[in-house]
Amino acid sequence: MSRLPDLAERIDRLVLRHEELARTNALLNEQLQAMTAERDSLRSRLAAARARIDALLDRLPADPGARAGGAE
């Protein structure tokens, strides 16, 4: 029966492919976790920058003429 060795070879190839895909999946999961952490950090930095900009905008005078010294 030549079909049995062929089947065994196919099974071996499938096992190797499965192991390869499992390693690839683990690496992709690590990359995803790193990218998620980086995204969260960037979001936090963006929120802080927005808060600083809002604080600076709040310090600006409400009257546009007041900034120019009223000499228009």
Label residue 72 by pLDDT band (50, 70, 90): very low
Q: How many distinct structural domains can be found in the chain?
A: 1
> What residue numbers bound the domain in which 38 lies?
3-58
Q: What is the pTM of this model?
A: 0.66
Confidence (pLDDT) at 29: 98
Where on the phi/psi map is residue 33: left (φ > 0), alpha (ψ -120 to 50), or beta? Answer: alpha
Span 14-69, pLDDT tens digits: 999 999 999 999 999 999 999 999 999 999 999 999 999 999 999 999 876 665 55
Confidence (pLDDT) at 69: 56
Q: Assess if residue 69 is contained within a domain.
A: no
Asked if 46 and 52 touch (Cβ cutoff 8 Å), the reply is: no
Q: In terms of C-beta density within 10 A (0-12 exposed, 13-18 middle, 19 or more buried), how is residue 28 classed?
A: exposed
Q: Assess if residue 72 is contained within a domain.
A: no
Asked if 67 and 61 touch (Cβ cutoff 8 Å), the reply is: yes
